Amino acid sequence: MTDVDWTKALCLGCERELWFVEGNDSTANADRRAAKQTCLICPIRSGCLDSAMAEESGRGESGRYGIRGALSGKQRYALSQRLPGAQPKQQRAA
Ligand code: SF4
């Protein structure tokens, strides 16, 4: 894996809560959009996403927290399912 210079992370010094918002009301959605927009111009976005995908390898959707590389945990899980060697989709608990 490529070394990532985390000192260049645009989320450093930001309100970290924006990357870990819960809920689906309009405020939560606006906060998530703001975090993703910051990620989209972050100079280490690709390394950040690669790092998240490596760390979360083998996890289901519920084991992926926060926004990383402009993707939510749900989006990273969906991406993991499209990668070569993807594990079968995990069943949700009833
Ligand atoms: S891509 Fe987003 S989460 Fe990753 S370091 Fe940059 S701002 Fe932070």
pLDDT tens track for 10-37: 999 999 999 999 999 999 999 999 999 9
| Predicted confidence (pLDDT) per residue in 53-71, tens digit | 999 999 999 999 999 999 9
> What pLDDT is attached to residue 83?
87
Query: Measured between alpha carbons, how far is 71 from 26 in angstroms, rounded to an integer?
Result: 18
Average pLDDT over all residues of the chain: 92
For residue 11, the CA-to-ligand 1 centroid distance in Å is 6
pLDDT, residue 15, reads: 92
**What CA–CA distance (Å, rounded) separates 13 from 77?**
27
What value does the mean pLDDT take over residues 67-94? 84
Atom of ligand 1 nearest to the CA of 19: 3
Q: Is 9 in the pocket of ligand 1 (CB under 6 A)?
A: yes
pLDDT band at 92 (very low <50, low <70, confident <90, very high): low
